[in-house]
Structure 1
Amino acid sequence: MVGWIRNIVIIFAILSAVYAVLSITANLRQRQKLRSEYHKQDALESQQDFVERGLRQYNRSIRPKMLLGIYFFPLAIFAGLAWLAQFG
């Protein structure tokens, strides 16, 4: 039982590291995209305000929430395999 708990903690730590890296990367890519959009148009607001407003809209969208699948899919597969090992 202790082995299972240790493995789950290690897997969760690895998934958390992957989530953090992908989240930061996605945020930086969105920031870069917003900066290039700012330079393409004649905006009346400052670049910093434009980027901050765009990042707030991005954080409320579905795209950053889809990154949580990094936790759900591997854990669902793990649970399915454990179930098959027990009852299959």
Structure 2
Amino acid sequence: MNTMTYNGSHACIGFDAEDDVFFGKIAGISDVIGFHGDSVAELKKAFHEAVDDYLKTCRKIGKEPQRPSSGKMMVRVAPEVHRFFAHDQDTC
């Protein structure tokens, strides 16, 4: 799967050869937001419109928009491990 990013949202992109259409779904949130286009340009436009519409709808109904995970995770490690990774490894 390919991905696209716009305004902090990420989407998984695919192609349906039978229907000859590109399609996508905003990833990392439980709200289901899909879009499609007959070309890459149309797909990008539809993705941007879907994100903008989602944010506008959330504002209108007073809902906090869901955001995908940042990918960061805090983990405790031993001080010597932290020191090892905290220093510039190119100088070792």
Q: Indicate whether the TM-score tops 0.5.
A: no
Give the TM-score normalised by the residue count of structure 1.
0.30
The structure with the greater share of residues assigned to strand is 2
Give the TM-score taking structure 2 as reference length.
Answer: 0.29
- The structure with the largest helix share of the pair is 1
Q: For CA contacts below 8 A with separation 6 or more, give which structure has more relative contact order.
A: 1
